[in-house]
Amino acid sequence: MATQAMSVEELDSLLEQSRENNARLNVTGILLHSGKTREFMQLLEGEQECIEKLMQVISNDERHTCVDMMYHDRIESRNFEDWSMAFRMFDDLDPKLIEGYTTFNANALPPALLTGRNSRARSIMTSLSQNM
């Protein structure tokens, strides 16, 4: 969750920096943001060592709090191979397009729905990769 609301310019800057860093590291993925709740959800695809380093950087970034890894697994192929960092405003998405969607607030969901192969986080990201 962002520590404060982010302007369009701040989001643009964050995306530009993320895309440059991810392209350099051969990392792909998507970033979702809810301006209403200041929450982010992100999927990162790449070599495990790169992802672990990025997660450390993200966790230490003072612009947000409550960083949780909701799903971690090896993948056969990337869902966002053409995107160094795709971006969608979660507020603008039609919930009917997202399999398993109930709420963006992870605190409202039981932990069993947030982790593992059948997690809602994974379902949301997979659905979005098919609707980009």
57 within 8 A of 107, measured Cβ to Cβ: no
pLDDT in tens, 24-40: 999 999 998 988 888 88
Residue 72 lies in a domain: yes
What is the pLDDT at residue 28?
Answer: 95
**Cβ-proximal residues to 69 (8 Å cutoff; 6+ apart), any chain:** 55
Terminal-to-terminal C-alpha distance of the chain? 24
- Going by pLDDT thresholds of 50, 70 and 90, the confidence category of residue 98 is low
Q: Is 37 exposed, middle or buried (0-12, 13-18, 19+ CB in 10 A)?
A: middle
- Note the helical H segments in the chain: 8-25, 48-60, 120-130
At 12, phi and psi to the nearest 5?
A: -60, -45
Residue 118 lies in a domain: no
Residue 115 lies in a domain: no
User: Which SS3 state, helix, strand or coil, does residue 43 take?
Assistant: strand
Residue 16 lies in a domain: yes
Q: Return the CATH number at 38.
A: 3.30.70.100
- Nearest in space to 12 (alpha carbons), one of 70, 79, 89, 76: 89
Q: Output the pTM of the full model.
A: 0.74
Domain that holds residue 48: 8-93
- Going by pLDDT thresholds of 50, 70 and 90, the confidence category of residue 113 is very low
The structural domain count of the chain equals 1
In the predicted structure, residue 129 carries a pLDDT above the cut 60: yes
Residue 12 lies in a domain: yes
What is the pLDDT at residue 2?
Answer: 86
What is the C-alpha to C-alpha distance for residues 29 and 41, in angstroms, rounded to an integer?
Answer: 11
User: Tokens 């607030």 label which residue?
Assistant: 105
pLDDT in tens, 39-60: 888 999 999 999 999 999 999 9
What is the C-alpha to C-alpha distance for residues 113 and 121, in angstroms, rounded to an integer?
Answer: 8
Residue 28 lies in a domain: yes
In the predicted structure, residue 126 carries a pLDDT above the cut 80: no
Residue 119 lies in a domain: no
Residue 46 lies in a domain: yes
